[in-house]
Structure 1
Amino acid sequence: MDKEKSIEILRIITGREIAYQKEVALSVQALTEDERSWIRQVVSGYDSDLISPYYFHLKNAQFERKANKENVRNELDVIRKASKKFIPQELIKLRDKKERENRGIENFEGIYIIHNLAKDIYYVGQSKGVFSRAYQHFVTNPSENSARYSHSIEWSLPEIYNDYRLGEKFNISLIPLANTSFSTLDELEYSAISAYNAFVDDGGYNRTNGNLINKGYFQNDDQENAANLILDRIKGKEIFSTLTNDKLRWRYVQSLSSELLLTSNLSFRANLVKRIKSYQKANKECNF
């Protein structure tokens, strides 16, 4: 590589970094000086000797899920038996809103349970609009040609598509959140993954246990309120839409923390990353 080309590349990289830092600075300017001062005070009050609230939540969630596993399976099996089971080809057709309207089918918030009949294994997913999401496992191989899936474990799931392409038979149950005893999609999905042994370690397709334990659990209410305040101010900024994976979210939160002059509270930063991710997922636009 010649010297002039190296200099040009360095100039481009430097220009991009300067532009990025300007965007971070704009995020900080959305906070008043009083708010910044309060956030610094709250974040600096971190006690590393305390056991993380996340640890307590994790252990409690794991205990409850194990204790309720059979009951959850029974509840969901009743709903599945009373509901239509779809084959992949039907879901692919019903991704179209007009097709659903012609058939009098409404999209809804809930989970979908994909059952590989040949292997008797499951995958559980969730969506604000299940008809807009469940079919996607059967139309493309994420590992080959979909940039949308390239940075996220939850979307990078070629195993289902590969098994479908090999001719294995599937049926899919779509379960409305409103028809269950659960209050949130995360709780329902988390419990259903366990109930159907859908986690990969149990022989299923799911690579994670769900979103319930992936949210941020802060050391105290003030730190949670500080994270929510930051999120409220940054969510409308242009840079927010570029935070499409955890690596980018981490970089942004690290830069934001430096710009805010926050102490090195890794727990707060990690939980803020999770809170941003959770917000983005919950507010992802659904093509109803």
Structure 2
Amino acid sequence: MTRPPLAAVPSGPVVVPAAVRALAGDDVVTPVWRNELGGVTFRLDGADGTRFAKWVPAGTPEIDLPGEAERLAWVGARAPVPRVLAQGSDDDGTWLVTRAVPGRSAVEPRWVADPVTAAVAIGRGLRALHDALPVASCPFTWAVEDRVTNAHARLARGSGPHEWFPEHRSLPVAEATSRLDDPPAVDRLVVCHGDACVPNTLLHDDGAFAAHVDLGSLGVADRWADLAVAAWSTEWNYGPGYDGHVYAGYGVDPDRERIAYYRLLWDLS
């Protein structure tokens, strides 16, 4: 795969929004992550510990920070996720402040240098999340039908193969949409993370799973909606050949049909 990660640690100067400055007070503000839509996550280090402030510019409907706050509150103590401290918005953007949780992102150099350990832990962490959260009482969905509708809407607005991952660029649009309209049967419904990529898994220094972050799309769906993309993301961050370790850590054999479908759905939606 030749496409670079869609988000990364900022490599140049970052303007700190006024709202984040106000939230930080006397804390030291460090930009730690920039997403592909212009949102930035800042670490706030102060006498009372470490917080993280996620900020997205106004007019970015793809990132729903109020919705993420609701999802984190619902997860609560059922799984290791950040605790919400504040959430708000102004004319410039929207923010979400959370308490730091133990662990370091699986995309940090320590784990890029040990991708097998990290990939196994990513799989184990995803299995732990899926086993811990109750489907029956989850008020959120990540349904295929909604995501396919979104994919069709994006295509109607001019999205196309030039924006897709290399694996899918040779597909005619009509064939790609036909495949999306014919999803495989559900294997197992779980409460999915919704963005279970490498950077959103935190690991302890011994290589054990620690926590998940960035749960703004959390909702009920087939477990392969998470698994397919979690394993795929190891290629973007570690290089090829580590996806199997994610499946092994989860405790499941690769399901090629569902993997292909959910990767295409991710790409187009």
TM-score for both structures, normalised by structure 2: 0.31
**RCO (CA 8 Å, sep 6+): is it higher in 1 or 2?**
1
- Structure number having the greater helix percentage: 1
- Structure number having the greater strand percentage: 2
